[in-house]
Amino acid sequence: MARILIIDDDENFSEMLSDMVERAGHDVVTTATIKGGLEKAAEGSYEVVFLDIHLPDGSGLDILQGIKAAPSSPEIIIITGFDDSGAAELALKNGVWDYIKKPSSIKEMQLALLRALQYRKEKGHQTPPAALRTEGIIGRSPVIGACLNLVAKAAHGEANVLITGETGTGKELFALSIHNNGPRANKSFVVVDCASLPQNLVESTLFGHEKGSFTGADKARDGLVKQAHGGTLFLDEIGELPLSIQRSFLRVLQMRSFRPIGSDKEITSDFRLISATNRNLDKMVEEGQFREDLLFRIRTLQIDLPALREHPEDIRELLIHYIARLCEQYGIGNKGFSPEFLAALQAHDWPGNVREFISTLEKSISEAFHQPTLYPKHLPTDIRIKLKKSELDMDSGSETVHELHPSTIDSIPALKTYREEVIANAERQYLKRLIKASDGKLKEICKVSGLSRPRLYALLKKYNLSRQNL
């Protein structure tokens, strides 16, 4: 007997679903709101959660990670009465078990529940994995947790892995973590920065060459593919690999053999491939800049790393970790930080992600070298200016959120509520301006904002905006 949670405000549907669950011999609990769903998920040990998207107090998509973070880490089955491919994509990317459109047959929902429970039973019989070596990956947010779960899954096998994410999100750290948690951990981890390979030396760098095979080849040299034999080959920024080399490398992946420049002998290399990119490889395929067959080969598993602005709750932990590391590196005592310093870091959008964060912290510590505490004044001037401009723009926005009047203290909301409303208003105004400026063109909106399509769809739904009607 399993415990099932239903989060749906449609009383008739909820009653029908409850009856189905009880007839299958399981316990069922129902609630009609996001707030109630999160509370019950945190309190009880549920195997499966049926979750509606459109709820009275918000979108069910916004609480996917909150439910998955519950103690029992339940499987989630989305149930919705609306056609929305963007919502389906977002839900599936967040690891839901199934996405079912109302009205659907009882048989379809019974089968989804049966398969989810069967999966959990089989998963429970597996040998618990050893503690994951995270190689300096800092963060406990749901999005980072989801990425680490994929690292653990990838580490157990030999499948090719593609890691995507903006510059500075830590793609090499995640690749190293996959390597160090897998069966090849004691072998070599060979890094190839495809973006920095000289155009005329790409082939010899990867595959090696014989002495005298070209001008300057005064001795034979092994390529990086051979050096990775037995271990892992990490191709960083694989989107920069020239088309001519993509064809050759595809053959290497298929045959696990290659021929160095100037040699008539085939050499074999047994390696695990992990690739990374900050580019949209699907778009590059459409534009003829990347081979589709190679993309199929390198993307058996995919890990999409979030931008730092998408998990600001990890900034405090990142701050504590890197202050300690940098102070030790500089040979100075550990520093504290003011609440305002932390708030400033959390308010910044970090286009350079964790790499920019570390660089900023280095500059701040250098500025406050002989002082025990970090304050906003120690931040680089460009960041302070950007934050102040953003603050002033928000203050002068056309839509005012809770103007605070000292004479009416009862009208002043809690700081958390006020902050959430200010942020929501800023996001809504930003999206309205961007949609208008781009004439609602999806690609332009995503390119300028840096948002993924699923995240954009979620925000449009959250703020009841349309790309066509502004």
In this structure, the chain runs to a length of: 470
3-state SS string over 265-332?
CCEECCCEEEEEECCCHHHHHHCCCCCHHHHHHHCCEEEECCCHHHCHHHHHHHHHHHHHHHHHHHCC
Confidence band (pLDDT; 50, 70, 90) for 387?
confident
Q: How high is the pLDDT of residue 408?
A: 57
Confidence band (pLDDT; 50, 70, 90) for 401?
very low
Examine the pLDDT at 24 and tell me if it is beyond 50. Answer: yes
The model's pTM is: 0.67
**pLDDT tens digits along 404-455:** 544 456 667 777 677 777 888 888 888 888 888 888 887 788 888 888 776 7
Q: How high is the pLDDT of residue 58?
A: 83
Residue bearing the bigger pLDDT, 106 or 355: 355
Strand, coil or helix: 372: coil
Confidence band (pLDDT; 50, 70, 90) for 398?
very low
Q: How high is the pLDDT of residue 454?
A: 67
| Rg of the chain over all Cα atoms, to the nearest angstrom | 26
CB-based contacts of 303: which residues, under 8 Å, 6+ apart? 147, 150, 151, 154, 161, 162, 163, 164, 174
Asked, as a colleague might, if the bond just before 103 is cis with ω within 30 of 0, I would say yes
| Highest mean predicted confidence (pLDDT) among 56-60, 81-85, 216-220 | 56-60
Burial label, 63 (beta-carbon count in 10 A; 0-12, 13-18, 19+): buried
Residue bearing the bigger pLDDT, 391 or 177: 177
CA torsion sign, 56 to 57 to 60 to 61?
Answer: positive
Residue 424: C-alpha distances to residues 57, 63, 203, 417, 450 (Å): 15, 16, 51, 11, 17
For residues 270-285, average pLDDT: 95
Tell me what the pLDDT averaged over the chain comes to: 86
Q: How high is the pLDDT of residue 43?
A: 82
**pLDDT tens digits along 402-415:** 455 444 566 677 77
Q: How far apart are CA 421 and CA 441, in angstroms?
A: 27
Structure tokens, 115: 């398969």
Strand, coil or helix: 467: coil
Structure tokens, 159: 């499948």
Q: How high is the pLDDT of residue 441?
A: 81
Examine the pLDDT at 394 and tell me if it is beyond 70. Answer: no
Q: How far apart are CA 403 and CA 418, in angstroms?
A: 10
Q: How far apart are CA 395 and CA 180, in angstroms?
A: 49
Confidence band (pLDDT; 50, 70, 90) for 468?
low
Q: How high is the pLDDT of residue 95?
A: 79
Examine the pLDDT at 5 and tell me if it is beyond 90. Answer: yes
Structure tokens, 450: 């840096």
Q: How high is the pLDDT of residue 409?
A: 63
* Beta bridge partner(s), residue 258: 267
Q: How high is the pLDDT of residue 27?
A: 92
Confidence band (pLDDT; 50, 70, 90) for 286?
very high
Residue bearing the bigger pLDDT, 20 or 402: 20
| Highest mean predicted confidence (pLDDT) among 108-112, 176-180, 462-466 | 176-180
Q: Provide the percentage of residues in the chain whose pLDDT is more than 90.
A: 44
Q: Which residue has the tokens 């060459």?
A: 209
Burial label, 308 (beta-carbon count in 10 A; 0-12, 13-18, 19+): buried
Structure tokens, 399: 């839509």
Q: How far apart are CA 238 and CA 246, in angstroms?
A: 9
Among 388, 396, 393, 310, smallest CA distance to 349 is for 310
Q: How far apart are CA 177 and CA 187, in angstroms?
A: 13
Q: How high is the pLDDT of residue 400?
A: 47
Q: How high is the pLDDT of residue 209?
A: 80
- Inter-residue contact 263 to 159 (CB < 8 Å): no
CB-based contacts of 181: which residues, under 8 Å, 6+ apart? 132, 133, 151, 152, 155
Q: How far apart are CA 34 and CA 128, in angstroms?
A: 32
Q: What is the DSSP string of 69-137?
A: TSTT--EEEEEESS--HHHHHHHHHTT-SEEEESS--HHHHHHHHHHHHHHHHHHHTSPPPPPP--TT-
